[in-house]
Amino acid sequence: MTSPSVSPLKLRSTLALLMARALTEHFGTEEPPVEVTPSRNLKMGDLACSSAMPLAGVVKKPPVEIAAVMAAAVKGVSQVEKVSVDGPGFLNFTLSNSYLQEVIACMSDSGITGLMPDTGKGRTALVEFVSSNPTGPLTVGHCRQAVLGDAVSGLLESSGWKVEREYYFNDAGKQMERLAQSVAARYMQNAGGQMDIPEGGYKGEYIREWAADLRSLKGDHLSWPEDLAVFRAYGAERAFELIKGDLELLGIKFDRFFPESDLIPHAVNQAIEKLRNENVVYSDSQAPEKLWLKLTEMGRPEDRVIIRDDGTCTYRMPDIAYHLNKFSRNYDLIVDIFGSDHIDTCRDVEAALTRLLGEERVKGVLKTILHQFVTLLRNGEKVKMSTRQGEFVTLRDLVEEVGAPDVVRYIFLTRRAEAHMDFDLASAASDSDDNPVFYVQYAFARISGIFRNTPGVQTILACGEKNAHLLTGERERDLMRLLETIPLRIHAAAEALEPHRITEMLAEVATAFHSFYQHHRVHDPGNKSLTAARLMLCSAVRNSLNDMLRIIGVKAPEKM
């Protein structure tokens, strides 16, 4: 079995199309929008449609009469066992067991892949995330963004997109100068000299370590500010080594590290010229070198400086140049992921791009995800953090305290990006059902154990499809009905760029399986046919768990 006679997506679109055509034929209207959705009340059916209600005002008929026309149009669909009109005009559909069994047989054979709409096939996407300044190790906030970006990329890939993961390497700017000066200060102090950490500089213990290592390499021959370039290059190199190591710890790999220095000065100057041609920049007589961007003309609350009076760029200018570079690479989709504190910069850059490239192109290609911050809780108390004071929990600290990258990745995806997250360290380190990833991984491991402990399991499993009609129990049907929705829900999550939906589905499938397992014996030596059918159902669950965990970069362990 490679695929059911009708995929979940095709079934829903067929039902909607048949009902829309029937309405046109019966009432003489243009083909109206009809939507088939999962039922909110599973006692009424598996799928539902409420389109009759809003159509009542259009066709001047009672919703119940409209719904009756719609119901008659789909009564010949073999995958639907029953369709009913309930209440003021709701349509409820009960899927046939034979259809659900076909879907489960497909999932048992090839997982979710064969049932997923491949709407991204032949299309390319660029996902930029983390892009932390190379001024030190990644923090807990960066960790959330790293996990989010990689999961968004995995979601898009599940829908057929060719995805490139990109890290924008901010190696040119004021913060790099502060880093260089911070390293220089510790270097001079180690050599017995006097130099203070600059205001806004970096005071973490890692700066002391880098300065000591630099002194071992160079001796006491460096001075400030004459050797600014040396301090800057060394600090950036060490920071980038740290960052790459932290990302590898989470299992996150980038296709490209794009340095900001590649944009300066050529690409930035080109971008400024484009803005000049659009007449959206200006300077004043008091500071002729300072350049302002006319953002108020673009609907933003205030104009912004893009070139300082000393000739250096503010953040917005290289960001505009970088995004013009992104658009020049002709991706079908560009995804930016930032912390919520970047909202003003993001909106300003989008406004400038819209003026330069046109609203249709920018809105059609660029999608921005802004995530909220993370609060770490240890023993119920908030862990205080300050990056520049050197008081923070690094990504590596977090992974080491929790004990596993999988746990960190999973928990960060249990909340939608725009929601603030409280990360409870005690719960994350627990080997109990309080730990959400443990609960899901245990379901996968439990099924793997069933397969290991069933003699001749593959031979028995091969008979599963022909015995699928035996899967008629309430919990068996609940599990099949849930699994049937998973491919479409993953696709919807990919369309919305919302990987937290995957952890929701994983929890639902794990809960449904644990309930099934507690009430049904999978391996029954006295009933080989039922054993084969239930093993096939277990295989479908196992494959769906594995596929969803893979999308979000979490392992599926055979044993726990």
Span 133-142, pLDDT tens digits: 888 889 999 9
Model pTM? 0.93
Q: Is residue 381 part of a domain?
A: no
Residue 152 lies in a domain: yes
**pLDDT exceeds cutoff 80 at 498:** yes
Please indicate, yes or no, whether residues 185 and 216 belong to a single structural domain of this protein: yes
Q: 275 and 226, same structural domain?
A: no
194, 216, 249: which is the final residue of a domain? 249
Encoded amino acid at 40, one letter: R
Helix and strand totals (H; E) in the chain: 20, 15
More confident of the two residues 388 and 55: 55
Listed residue (91, 93, 86, 95) closest to 49, CA to CA: 91
Higher pLDDT, 114 or 489: 489
Q: Is residue 104 part of a domain?
A: no
Distance CA 103, CA 83 (A): 20
Residues 161 and 271 in one domain: yes
Q: Do residues 43 and 150 both lie within one domain?
A: no
d(CA 282, CA 280): 7
Q: Does 388 score more than 80 pLDDT?
A: no
Residue pLDDT, tens place only, 231-261: 999 999 999 999 999 999 999 999 999 999 9
CA 560 to chain CA centroid, Å, is 27
Q: What is the pLDDT of residue 316?
A: 96
Instruction: Based on the fold, state whether residues 445 and 538 are members of the same structural domain.
Output: yes
Mean pLDDT of 478-506: 97
Q: What CATH number corresponds to the domain at position 130?
A: 3.40.50.620
Residue whose token pair is 């213990």? 205
d(CA 453, CA 535): 12
Give residue 1's pLDDT band: very low, low, confident or very high (50, 70, 90): very low
139, 178, 179, 180 from 199: Cα distances, Å: 21, 8, 11, 13
Percent of the chain with pLDDT over 70: 98
Using the 3D structure, point to which of 95, 110, 141 is the last residue of a domain.
Answer: 95
Asked if pLDDT for residue 66 goes beyond 50, the answer is: yes
d(CA 304, CA 311): 15
234 plus 346 within the same structural domain: no
Q: What is the mean pLDDT of residues 272-288?
A: 94
Does 284 lie in the same domain as 364?
yes
Do 231 and 260 lie in one domain? The reply is no
- Give the total number of structural domains in the chain: 4
Mark whether 233 and 358 lie in a shared domain.
no
Q: Is residue 116 part of a domain?
A: no
- pLDDT at residue number 372: 97
Residue 28 has a pLDDT of 87
pLDDT for the residue numbered 4: 66
Query: CA geometry: angle at 129 spanning 127 and 130, to 5°?
Result: 165
pLDDT, one tens digit per residue, over 389-405 is: 556 788 999 999 998 99
Tell me which of 371, 387, 408 is where a domain ends: 371
**Residue 39 · residue 136 · CB < 8 Å:** no
Mention every residue, 6+ apart, whose C-beta is less than 8 A from residue 258.
166, 167, 168, 169, 322, 325
| 77: in domain | yes
For 439-474, what is each residue's pLDDT tens digit? 999 999 999 999 999 989 999 999 999 999 999 999
Q: Residue 523 and residue 514: Cα distance in Å, rounded?
A: 15
Domain identity same for 468 and 354: no
Q: Where are the beta strands (DSSP E) in 121-212?
A: 124-128, 162-169
- What is d(CA 38, CA 36) in angstroms, rounded to the nearest whole number? 7
Give the model's pLDDT for residue 31.
Answer: 80
Is 476 domain-assigned?
Answer: yes
Q: What is the CATH number of the domain that holds 40?
A: 3.30.1360.70
pLDDT at residue number 42: 86
Which CATH number goes with the domain that contains 484? 1.10.730.10
The whole-number average pLDDT for the span 38-62 is: 93
Considering the domain architecture, whether residues 208 and 343 belong to the same structural domain is answered as: no
d(CA 172, CA 236): 10
Quick: pLDDT tens for 320-356.
Answer: 999 999 999 999 999 999 999 999 999 999 999 999 9
Does the CA dihedral 17-19-22-28 come out positive or negative? negative
Number of Cα atoms under 13 Å in the Cβ half of residue 284 = 6
Q: Rg of the chain over CA atoms, in angstroms?
A: 29
102 pLDDT band (50/70/90 cuts)?
very high
Quote the CA–CA distance of 34 and 37 in Å, as a whole number.
10
Do residue 162 and residue 286 come from a single domain? yes
Label residue 172 by pLDDT band (50, 70, 90). Answer: confident
Q: Which helix (H) or strand (E) holds 479?
A: helix 474-496
pLDDT, position 288: 87
Q: Which residue has the tokens 């054993």?
A: 531
Residue 389 lies in a domain: no
* Surface-to-core class of residue 266, CB atoms within 10 Å of its CB (0-12 exposed, 13-18 middle, 19+ buried): exposed
Whether residue 386 has pLDDT greater than 70? no
CB-count exposure of residue 483 (10 Å: 0-12, 13-18, 19+): buried
Token readout for 201 is 């500089």
Query: pLDDT tens digit string along 182-226?
Result: 999 999 999 988 899 999 899 889 999 999 999 999 999 999 999
Domain presence at residue 387: no
Q: What confidence category does residue 287 fall into, taking pLDDT thresholds of 50, 70 and 90?
A: confident
Contact indicator for 207, 183 with CB cutoff of 8 Å: yes
pLDDT average, residue stretch 8-18: 96
In this structure, are residues 45 and 94 in contact, taking their beta carbons and an 8 Å threshold? yes
Confidence at residue 113, expressed as pLDDT on a 0 to 100 scale: 83
Do the beta carbons of residue 104 and residue 311 sit within 8 Å?
A: no
Q: What is the span of the domain harbouring residue 359?
A: 125-170+255-371
Query: Per-residue pLDDT for 361 more than 60?
Result: yes
Q: What is the pLDDT of residues 527-542, one digit of tens each?
A: 999 999 999 999 999 9
The rounded mean pLDDT for the chain is: 94
